[in-house]
């Protein structure tokens, strides 16, 4: 599925809401179709600069966001270079200042612990000013509460909130969650989604075709 004409602003007259995929230039950031980002405080097209932090090429870490996600204003993705190593007797990043301490430049990444990529599933709603830390995976259909700090993986269709974020409840029964993960409506054609929007919106999974 592709977004027609690579449109950035899906709503007429609304310059605060964008289809995020169409402003991404960093090859280490992948965003699925129809995922939207809203920012009423800053230019939403500057998402890479303002919201994806400490994401340096030397780490080769990735931000992967699925389709049909809703990302609220001020959401931050904190990558590995925000960390300081915990295996050292000091948290000071000596390798980063290799010139000062006559260290080998190639060991710069020893300044921090590398916890891996950030992976966001499909149909995920991330609330206002939430913070997602490096190495976290968020399952399909999950909801992240406003200003939550997500330090651990979030299961599909689970609502989490708080600092650090903890599960609040599942959105649906286990059977319904299993069916949704099997159906994967977000991978349907636009025409098929349009045909089933009413059933999706009213929660009638048995009517999905």
Catalytic residues: 84
**pLDDT attached to residue 2:** 47
pTM over 0.85: yes
Please answer whether residues 118 and 151 qualify as being in contact, where contact means their C-beta atoms are separated by less than 8 angstroms: no
Bridge partners (DSSP) of residue 37 are 18, 71
Q: How many residues would you count in the chain?
A: 209
Residues spanned by CATH 2.160.10.10 within the chain? Answer: 4-171
| Strand-pair category, 52-53 with 76-78 | parallel
4-171 maps to CATH 2.160.10.10: yes
Tell how far CA 21 is from the center of its chain.
Answer: 12
Give residue-wise pLDDT tens across range 44-57: 999 999 999 999 99
**pLDDT attached to residue 1:** 46
State the pLDDT confidence band at 6, using cuts at 50, 70 and 90: confident
């Amino acid at each position: 599925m592709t977004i027609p004409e690579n449109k950035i602003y899906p709503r007429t007259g609304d310059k605060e809401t964008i289809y995020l995929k169409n402003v991404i230039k960093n090859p280490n950031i992948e965003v699925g179709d129809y995922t939207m980002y809203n920012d009423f405080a800053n230019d939403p097209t500057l998402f890479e600069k303002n919201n994806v932090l400490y994401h340096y090429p030397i780490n080769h870490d990735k931000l992967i966001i699925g389709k049909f996600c809703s990302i609220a204003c001020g959401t931050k993705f904190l990558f590995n270079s925000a960390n300081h190593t915990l295996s050292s007797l000091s948290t000071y990043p000596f390798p980063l200042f290799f010139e000062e301490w006559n260290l080998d430049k190639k060991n710069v990444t020893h300044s921090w612990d590398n916890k891996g990529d950030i992976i966001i599933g499909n149909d995920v709603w991330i609330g206002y000013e939430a913070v997602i830390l490096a190495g976290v995976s968020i399952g399909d259909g999950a909801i992240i509460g406003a200003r939550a700090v997500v330090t651990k993986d979030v299961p599909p269709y689970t609502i989490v909130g708080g600092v650090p974020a903890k599960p609040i409840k599942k959105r649906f029964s286990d059977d319904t969650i299993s069916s949704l993960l099997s159906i994967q409506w977000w991978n349907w054609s636009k025409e098929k989604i349009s045909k089933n929007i009413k059933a999706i919106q009213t929660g009638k999974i048995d009517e999905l075709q």
